[in-house]
Structure 1
Amino acid sequence: MTTFTDSLLRLRSSFLSGRSQPMDFRVNQLNALIRLLEENEVALLRVLYKDLHKCKFEAMIAEVDFVKNEAIYTLNNIRSWMEPEIVEKTFVTRMDQCFIQKEPFGLVLIIAAWSHPIQLLLMPLIGAIAAGNCVVLKPSEVTVQTAALLNKLIPKYLDKECFAVFTGGPIETRKLLQFKFDFIFYTGNNMVGKLIMKAAAEHLTPVTLEMGGKNPCYVDQSFSPESTAQRLAWGCFFNAGQCCTSPDYVLCSREVQEQLVPAIGQCLERFYGKDPRESPDYGRIGSDEHFEELQQMVNSGRVVIGGQSDKQDRYIAPTVLVDVQESDPVMQKEIFGPILPILNINSMEEAIAFINKRPKPLAIYVYATNSKVVNEMLQKTSSGGFCSNDNLMQMILNTLPFGGVGYSGIGAYHGKFSFDTFSHKRACVLKSGGMEKLHSSRYPPYNEQKLSWLLWATQVRKRDCSCRLL
């Protein structure tokens, strides 16, 4: 039986041989990944439904087609991304070639979360392939059916000498983390993220940590009731709320709440019918353990919409809570489920203060028709991403970086940001062996004339940096 050690040695040997680095190889593997998605679409949709009751619509736009579009975008741009990046030079280096060479790190470990088990495993893989790495993939053990299918399919489509899949739970993950990798990419919660970072520190391995957090949503007095209710309800209950960028709680005045709650209730009935459990478009909770955590959170505040649940089916109805206090269980950790608590504040300034005293979130949302409110919220807060008058949309554009800050994450990916994440940027200066007289001024014995000349030759000149802010 092949062991972790044998597989990792094989992959590292492949990388050192240069197998994964030519552009043709990278392109072939990306095309193979696209074929995997296209030729197995039905099977992938089936396992996503079995694991999460994920409907075809959500599975296609957030998993299968989302990943395929990322791979195609990468293929369209990989040649330019791989090219050396020419940099500015001083007088001293004018005759030299000065550039940044993009190099793969080597053997990379990607650990995925269960909420979007295809997207969160294969999206970073695209960047790792494009950058020329060999990769170990660890899908989540929570989504059993999806993990088993990916474990079967990936070796059929990708080069087995450069890519391997290891399944299993926390025990297997801990074993993997004992080995030295050249880069680790993890998606999940910040509690496990700390353990990943601690294990990586033993080998001084760089990491990207894609974590979540409590994403606040401020609804201003100037909000548009109909569009806000629809967009907010969609973002909160997409994938049964199991999305790291979902709005986690709403901050608004009581007056706004009185308009917002019935509007959300009407939206939910339009979306999922009178009984969401019967809707083919509404998902289920990923695990029994997480179901129990969410059940405890529902006891916070007062339920005004939903609240029904079925443990056997891992079903929790779309739920809205009011009269929620900061000390309630639902406010102590990321919800990651179909529960939306509303906390009352009296002003935008109070909302900003509330957000800023908590760890920086993965996303901040604001609903307001007043552009001054949007701009002030943007300028006076910090988060991984920001979106006004909508939610989730900041993560679908692959020309924007996706990632957190502080407790919500380290590093970013999507599009070129994925390629950059999995690439070492090597500083390169290529000099000729001649013109030694030109270099003699830097050699001892030193004198004032040599110093004056070198200071002039290496001086960075000021430019007019005045600019008009948007």
Structure 2
Amino acid sequence: MSEIARYQKQFYYTEKTKSVAFRKQQLQTLKNMIEKNEQRIMDSLNQDLNKSEFDSYTHEIGFLYAEINFMIKEVKEWMKPTKVKTPASHFGSKSYIHKEPYGTSLIIAPWNYPFQLALAPVIGAIAAGNTVVLKPSELTPTVSSLLKQMVEEAFDPAFFTVVEGAVKETQELLEQRFDIIFFTGSVPVGKIVMEKAAKHVTPVVLELGGKSPVIVDEDAKLDVAAKRIAWGKYTNAGQTCIAPDYLYVHRNVKPELLSKLKDSIEEMYGKEPMQNDAYTHIVNQKHFSRLSAYLDNGELVHGGQTNPEELIIEPTVLDHISWDDSIMKDEIFGPILPVLTFDSLDEVITQVQTQEKPLALYYFSEDEQKQQKILDQLPFGGGCMNDTLFHVANPHLPFGGVGPSGLGSYHGKASFDAFTHQKSVVHQTTKFDFSFRYPGSKLGLSIVKKLLR
């Protein structure tokens, strides 16, 4: 691992990665690599997670195309030094922010969207002028192997390489001195990454998770709410970091919403979702067992069937859940939706405020004042009013968590910024030199007071 880090450091110091032409060329190479292997990518996603071609293209491949195209179009402008104002005390000088790559980057990817979440941060790293070492998840081995083959065929390993493996290999990579580390995954592992990075005071971007609520108020349009909640929750069998983790619904509309939610699930996945070839499976036996244990919580409203051999859990809704139930203790990360009931919005706000800050929050209401109240009083990484998940697909919106749900953000320009150091520089004139700035000037202090007051 040390040889990989050293090799990439040497390549970075050749200055090749810094030109706009090189960055655009590598981004285009990345796009060409994906286009050439589209079917292999979809096949590997199906092999590891039973993802349909629709889900694979929409949520993994298509997202990357849009991100690459956006970067190629904008990166030249983002790279330019930004001139900023200079105070009167600096008369004769000009001030700029220069956009400098961090250097060598380590990107550790998760298993739930194993292709998209591996390469999305790579796009930002390349656009910002860094070299890349990518560590895919060992829990999706087919995708991991394919990523390695594709990158080896398309890129110089001194610039972009893939390291496969599990915990041992990840630990060895974290011992190396990279210039920035980007990690997507669980909160406990994120803390380990942050601890390892602290050894060298390495900047980190942590994309984590948490219990993201979806709140449905009594004035919400229930047909729309039910469909959008079902889509947001059960996409990828709930194995999405920004999926609604639990539903908070107003007592007055709860029976109707739950009825419409069941209809929406059947409309999307059929009456026998475990027979639906387009329905994603749980990633492995460990996660299947963990999720199956939650099915004993509360009262079953819909779903609940499992197939241990195929690692399938039906889209499930559980009612009569309390904060004391085990399902409310940790992020679910699966197709099980617990339901809580409220009578007033203040009650919801008070309860959610006692929890860790979530990665996402979704609120359904036609009342703009209540929407604003949610925005003002509840901290969260990002989210939607009257929708779920959609904020993640806008390249003009930074995506990231807050507190335990994450550190830093990316997507679009935020990805470029995440892998870029803003170097502040004053360009000073030598045509004259003010004596009052130096010790010994009799008028110095009075002039300085006037300038800085």
1:330-364 deviation per Cα after TM superposition (whole angstroms, max 9, x unaligned): 10100011010001122110111111100000011
Query: Which of residues 257, 260, 268 is equivalent to 1:260?
Result: 257
Alpha carbons 1:131, 1:422 under 8 Å: kept: yes
Farther off after superposition, 169-178 or 401-410: 169-178
Offset at residue 158 of structure 1 (A) = 2.2
Aligned to 2:327: 330
Alpha carbons 2:12, 2:131 under 8 Å: kept: yes
Aligned to 1:420: 417
Query: Which of residues 425, 434, 438 is equivalent to 1:443?
Result: 438
Q: What does residue range 176-191 of structure 1 map to in structure 2 within 5 Å?
A: 176-191=173-188
Residue 448 (structure 2) pairs with residue 454 (structure 1): yes
Aligned to 1:396: 393
Offset at residue 254 of structure 1 (A) = 3.1
Aligned to 2:384: 387
Query: Which of residues 41, 58, 63 is equivalent to 1:61?
Result: 58
Offset at residue 405 of structure 1 (A) = 0.1
Q: What does residue range 1-400 of structure 1 map to in structure 2 within 5 Å?
A: 4-400=1-397
Instruction: Report SS of the residue matched to 2:253.
Output: helix
Offset at residue 31 of structure 1 (A) = 0.2
- State how far apart, in whole Å, the 2-side matches of 1:366 and 1:200 are: 36
One-letter code of the match for 2:449?
L
One-letter code of the match for 1:440?
S
1:234-286 deviation per Cα after TM superposition (whole angstroms, max 9, x unaligned): 00000111111100001123332211111111111111111001223211111
Instruction: Give aligned-pair identity as a percent.
Output: 38
Instruction: Report SS of the residue matched to 2:400.
Output: coil
Instruction: Report SS of the residue matched to 2:380.
Output: coil
Runs of 4+ in 1 over 4 A off after TM superposition: none
1:11-52 deviation per Cα after TM superposition (whole angstroms, max 9, x unaligned): 111011212222111111000000011111111011011111
Farther off after superposition, 297-306 or 414-423: 297-306
Paired residues, number: 453
Alpha carbons 1:378, 1:386 under 8 Å: kept: no
Give structure 1 stretches of 5+ with no counterpart.
Answer: 460-470
Instruction: Report SS of the residue matched to 1:255.
Output: coil
- State how far apart, in whole Å, the 2-side matches of 1:38 and 1:445 are: 68
Offset at residue 171 of structure 1 (A) = 1.1
- State how far apart, in whole Å, the 2-side matches of 1:284 and 1:362 are: 23
Alpha carbons 1:90, 1:458 under 8 Å: kept: no
Instruction: Report SS of the residue matched to 1:92.
Output: helix
- State how far apart, in whole Å, the 1-side matches of 2:375 and 2:428 are: 46
- State how far apart, in whole Å, the 2-side matches of 1:253 and 1:124 are: 38
Alpha carbons 1:401, 1:412 under 8 Å: kept: yes
Farther off after superposition, 271-280 or 402-411: 271-280
Farther off after superposition, 408-417 or 361-370: 361-370
Instruction: Report SS of the residue matched to 2:164.
Output: coil
1:297-325 deviation per Cα after TM superposition (whole angstroms, max 9, x unaligned): 12111111000001110100000000101
Alpha carbons 1:385, 1:394 under 8 Å: kept: yes
- State how far apart, in whole Å, the 2-side matches of 1:278 and 1:446 are: 86
- State how far apart, in whole Å, the 2-side matches of 1:365 and 1:422 are: 29
Alpha carbons 1:319, 1:339 under 8 Å: kept: yes
Aligned to 1:467: none
Q: CA RMSD in A?
A: 1.1
Offset at residue 458 of structure 1 (A) = 4.1
Distance 1:94 1:58, change over 3 A: farther
Instruction: Report SS of the residue matched to 1:281.
Output: coil
Farther off after superposition, 415-424 or 84-93: 84-93
1:61-99 deviation per Cα after TM superposition (whole angstroms, max 9, x unaligned): 111010111011000001100000111111232422210
- State how far apart, in whole Å, the 2-side matches of 1:228 and 1:133 are: 42
- State how far apart, in whole Å, the 2-side matches of 1:61 and 1:94 are: 54
- State how far apart, in whole Å, the 1-side matches of 2:344 and 2:52 are: 39
- State how far apart, in whole Å, the 1-side matches of 2:172 and 2:278 are: 38
Farther off after superposition, 207-216 or 278-287: 278-287
One-letter code of the match for 1:277?
M
Offset at residue 450 of structure 1 (A) = 1.8
Instruction: Report SS of the residue matched to 1:20.
Output: helix
Offset at residue 452 of structure 1 (A) = 2.4
With normalisation by structure 1, the TM-score equals: 0.95
Alpha carbons 1:214, 1:248 under 8 Å: kept: yes
One-letter code of the match for 2:445?
L
- State how far apart, in whole Å, the 2-side matches of 1:421 and 1:179 are: 20
Instruction: Report SS of the residue matched to 1:364.
Output: strand
Alpha carbons 1:29, 1:159 under 8 Å: kept: no
Offset at residue 446 of structure 1 (A) = 4.2
Offset at residue 453 of structure 1 (A) = 1.7
One-letter code of the match for 1:441?
F
- State how far apart, in whole Å, the 1-side matches of 2:91 and 2:308 are: 70
